[in-house]
Amino acid sequence: MDVDDQLGSYRRDRPGPIAGSGSGSGSGSGVEGAYGNGCPYSGARAGSTGAAGQAGGADSGTEDFDSHDPALAENPFPAYARLRSRCPVSWSRAWGGFWVATRHAEVSEAGRDGVFRTGHVLADGTLQGVTIPPLGQTGRLVPLEEDAPRNLKFRKLLSSFYSAGKVRERMPELRRLAQESVDAVISEGACDLVTALTLRVPGVVTMRDLGLPDDRWFEIDSLVHQALLAAPHDLAGARDHAQRITMALVEELDVRREYGTDTTDRSLFPLLLAGRVDGEPVSDEDILSMLYLILLGIDPVSSLTATALLHLAEHPSLRARLIADPALISRAADEYLRWMSPVQGTGRTVAEHVELGGRTLRAGERVFVSWASANRDEAVFADPDTVDLDRDISGHLAFGAGSHYCLGASLVRALFTVMLEEVLTRIPDYRVSNRGAVTWFPDITSFYGVTSLPIRFTPRSG
Ligand code: HEM
């Protein structure tokens, strides 16, 4: 598959989930007319038992937010702002119904409180997990889709590999990779920054962590896109792509199970094969699931960096400030994380009746926890839509909250920093060559942000 095929798959449009209604929460796409009249906290959820008569009515407390709505792909933030001001914990009728938490206070609460589960299993054995709708699978992403205390046992296995100290030791390697990536295009004066740099660098790093050859990053990441984009409309297709990824990982696992690992093996395998959970070796299924979850870290790193570089191309004074003071780049990582939130939100299942933002959520109901909306909450961040390198960003929730807080956080900051340093020092005059050719993820379900960034710059010999 070539680059265009891969990026083409990002651009596909897909049908919405509420037949004939549109999903109603896109920028200016129906919220105002249909549901925008307020959100009384006494309102029952539309479409649930006894409340059908109120479905979509002015008093229903319903805003049909749907992360699968392509209208939200480029700019979901006005929709969040409406929800925060009118209906901060609202009910959406999409995908069988779920709650949407949008203010910083409730998002933090749902992220941290054990009542909101990531690994809920239905009576028929299917997992609810962190996707809305659930994908009907029985296997889970470990440790993300395990609840406390079991998740912490797996988390402990991975955390030493991705600790701040370990990432610091890897800085020369990360810097070299960013340099090589820019070396490959610098004499040409033009490139797509995503395939040349922002996707390639985390892609290669991840191949190394997974024990795969560097040059498989593109093929494997393409399979990840296909799996993510197929779900939830084509579950069989999604499973098929996921299966092909798993097979690549199984081959590596089998080799190491048979021949063992040695000190030259810098991947996660030595650690995972030696690891114990409750005194038992970690099962193949759990190892593969952890590796799969690590693979999902490539795309948000790329979209964070590419979206920041697009923003900097359009805000010359900010770019000039970072060029003059590169020490600010690591601060910029967190401010861009807050501002664009590459992982916009994840799902939870309510384990028992609970109050959230004045609404009563019932056991078994699902909640979309919007990290992105919390990060634009004007009650916490002044002028939240502006990128401000001087603000206090300590409270952002782009990496989640609580016991599932992103294990890759230090690596993400390091990758962002080396890639921005490389661009701003070696091709500082880059400009977007064709704004119309910039592409975004087709919806905000898995990831948000730029997926193609064609640029031009003054060519150099190296
Ligand atoms: C900009 C890039 C990234 C963002 C914005 C991001 C965001 C997140 C968020 C929001 C969560 C929590 C989800 C939830 O609670 O439902 C999470 C969990 C996780 N992330 Fe990341 N992530 C990024 C990159 C990475 C990378 C590169 C790795 C790989 C090292 C990684 C590994 C993980 C793991 C293993 C978890 C699950 C942690 C647990 O359940 O204990 N992430 N990430």
pLDDT band at 9 (very low <50, low <70, confident <90, very high): very low
Return the SS3 of 47.
coil
Q: Is 119 in the pocket of ligand 1 (CB under 6 A)?
A: no
pLDDT at 15: 32
For residue 114, pLDDT beyond 80: yes
Q: What is the pLDDT of residue 231?
A: 86
CA 129–ligand 1 middle distance (angstroms):
15
Q: Which residue has the higher pLDDT, 85 or 44?
A: 85
Q: Whose CA is nearest to atom 18 of ligand 1?
A: 406
Q: Is the pLDDT of residue 131 over 60?
A: yes
- Tell how far the Cα of 157 is from the centroid of ligand 1, in angstroms: 15
Q: Is the CB of 408 under 6 A from ligand 1?
A: yes
At 46 the pLDDT is: 45
Atom of ligand 1 nearest to the CA of 143: 40
Write out pLDDT tens, residues 321-332. 999 999 999 999
Q: Which residue owns the Cα nearest ligand 1 atom 19? A: 406
Smallest CA-to-CA distance from 409 within 173, 87, 118, 155 is with 155
CATH number corresponding to 3-456: 1.10.630.10
- Averaged over 358-377, what is the pLDDT? 97
C-alpha 15/C-alpha 25 separation (Å) is 15
Shortest-distance atom of ligand 1 to CA 343 = 5
pLDDT at 43 over 90: no
Distance 265 CA to ligand 1 centre (A): 24
Q: What is the DSSP letter of 273?
A: H
CA distance 64 to 17: 11
The reply to whether ligand 1 has any atom less than 6 angstroms from the CB of 339 is no
Q: How many CB atoms lie within 10 A of CB 170?
A: 18
Task: Output phi, psi for 125, to 5 deg.
Answer: 90, -5
pLDDT band at 350 (very low <50, low <70, confident <90, very high): very high
The 3-state DSSP class for residue 450 equals strand
pLDDT above 60: residue 202: yes
Q: How confident is the model at residue 5 (pLDDT cuts 50, 70, 90)?
A: very low
d(CA 211, CA 267): 5
pLDDT score at 232: 87
- Is 380 touching ligand 1 by the criterion CB < 6 Å? no
308 within ligand 1 shell (Cβ under 6 A): no
Q: Is residue 393 over pLDDT 60? A: yes
Report which protein residue has its CA nearest ligand 1's atom 3: 300
User: 3-state DSSP call for residue 88?
Assistant: coil
Query: What pLDDT score was predicted for residue 436?
Result: 96
Q: Mean pLDDT score of the chain, rounded to an integer?
A: 88
Cβ contacts of 323 within 8 Å, gap of 6 or more: 424, 425, 428
- Indicate whether 53 pLDDT > 80: no
What spacing in Å lies between the alpha carbon of 57 and ligand 1's midpoint?
Answer: 37
pLDDT of residue 40 exceeding 50: no
User: Which residue has the CA at smallest separation from atom 24 of ligand 1?
Assistant: 297
What integer pLDDT is reported at residue 61 of this predicted model? Answer: 56
In this predicted structure, the answer to whether residue 16 has a pLDDT above a threshold of 80 is no
Asked whether the predicted pLDDT for residue 380 surpasses 50, the reply is: yes
What share of the chain has pLDDT > 90, as a percent? 80
CA distance 323 to 346: 35
pLDDT tens, 214-235? Answer: 999 999 999 999 998 888 889 8
Under 8 Å CB-to-CB from 127, ≥6 apart: which residues?
119, 120, 121, 134, 137, 138, 139, 140, 145
- Residue closest via CA to ligand 1's atom 28 equals 408
**Residue 343, token pair as written in the block:** 């992982």
pLDDT at 293 over 60: yes
Residue 191 has pLDDT above 50, yes or no: yes
What does the alpha-carbon distance between residue 349 and residue 126 come to, in Å, rounded to a whole number? 13
Give the whole-angstrom CA distance, residue 231 versus residue 62: 25
The C-alpha atoms of residue 136 and residue 409 are separated, in whole angstroms, by 29
- Residue 33's pLDDT is 26
Each residue of 399-428: pLDDT tens digit? 999 999 999 999 999 999 999 999 999 999
Paired with 348 in beta bridges are 367
Q: Looking at residues 13-33, what average pLDDT do you find?
A: 34
Distance 291 CA to ligand 1 centre (A): 12
Does the beta carbon of 419 lie inside 6 Å of ligand 1? no
Residue whose CA lies nearest to ligand 1 atom number 23: 297
Q: How far apart are CA 36 and CA 63, in angstroms?
A: 8
Does the pLDDT of residue 201 top 80, yes or no? Answer: yes
More confident residue, 56 or 85: 85
Residue closest via CA to ligand 1's atom 25 equals: 297
State pTM to two decimals: 0.90
